[in-house]
Amino acid sequence: MEVVRIRNANVEDSAAIAGIYNQGIDDRIATYETERRSAKDQRAWLESIAGQYPAVVAQSGCEIIGWAGAAPYRDRECYRGIGEFSIYVRRDWRSRGVGDFLLRGLITEAERLGLWKLLSRIFPFNEASRALCRKHGFREVGIYEKHARLDGQWVDAVIVERLITANLTR
C-alpha cells in the first residue's frame, strides 16, 4: 500500500472531510443522516471540538483519503470524557487498511485528550465497521431496535464502546 500518514485534522481539511462523509451518506451503510454536508458544516464541527475531542485524517500524498472524529456523547459535564465517534474512508480506499490506521490514531489522540471512553452506533449489516471496531477492542454492548428510519425503513443500531483505561484512574 502507498504510504498513508495519520495526523490531526485541521479546518483546511473541511472540504475533503465533507466529500468523504457525503460518500458514506450516499452509500446508506453508515448513518441515518441523508442530508449532505458542506465544508462549512465540517469546519464548524472541527472548531467546536478543537482541543477537547479527537479528529484525525488519513493522507496519501497530498490527498485526504479518510477521517475519524468524535463529538461529545452528551452535553452534561459528567459525560465530558465520552466521545461518540464516526469514521469514514473514501470509497476507492476502503478495505485497504486505512480504517485500521485511522481508528488507532483516533484512540491515541482520545487518550492524549483525557477521554475515558469512545463509543459509536453501527448498522448491523455494516460488517467492515463491526470488524474494525472488534479489532480495536470495542465491545458490542447491545442493539437499539428500530432506532431511527433510513429512507422510511426502520434500521437497528449496534452500540459499541471501548474504555481508555489509562484515563480511568486520573
Ligand X SMILES: CC(C)(COP(=O)(O)OP(=O)(O)OC[C@H]1O[C@@H](n2cnc3c(N)ncnc32)[C@H](O)[C@@H]1OP(=O)(O)O)[C@@H](O)C(=O)NCCC(=O)NCCS
Which residues of this chain interact with ligand X, rule CB under 6 A? Answer: 24, 29-30, 87-89, 94-100, 120, 122, 126-129, 131-132, 135
Least distance in Å: CB of 26 to ligand X? 10
Grid cell at residue 28: 446508506
Q: Which is nearer to ligand X, 3 or 78 (CB)?
A: 3
Least distance in Å: CB of 149 to ligand X? 17
**Contact between 52 and 99 (Cβ < 8 Å):** no
Least distance in Å: CB of 66 to ligand X? 7
**Contact between 96 and 132 (Cβ < 8 Å):** no
| DSSP-derived secondary structure letter, 125 | T
Q: Which is nearer to ligand X, 91 or 166 (CB)?
A: 91
Q: Which is nearer to ligand X, 73 or 88 (CB)?
A: 88
Grid cell at residue 5: 500518514
Q: Which residue is nearest to ligand X (CB)?
A: 99
Q: Rounded to the nearest 5 degrees, what angle is found at the Cα of 55, between the Cα atoms of 98 and 164? A: 90
Least distance in Å: CB of 132 to ligand X? 4
- Sorted by sequence, the CB contacts under 8 Å of residue 28 that are 6+ apart come out as 150, 151
Least distance in Å: CB of 45 to ligand X? 16
- Sorted by sequence, the CB contacts under 8 Å of residue 93 that are 6+ apart come out as 58, 60, 65, 66
Q: Which is nearer to ligand X, 51 or 55 (CB)?
A: 55
Q: Which is nearer to ligand X, 97 or 114 (CB)?
A: 97
Beta bridge partners of 34: none
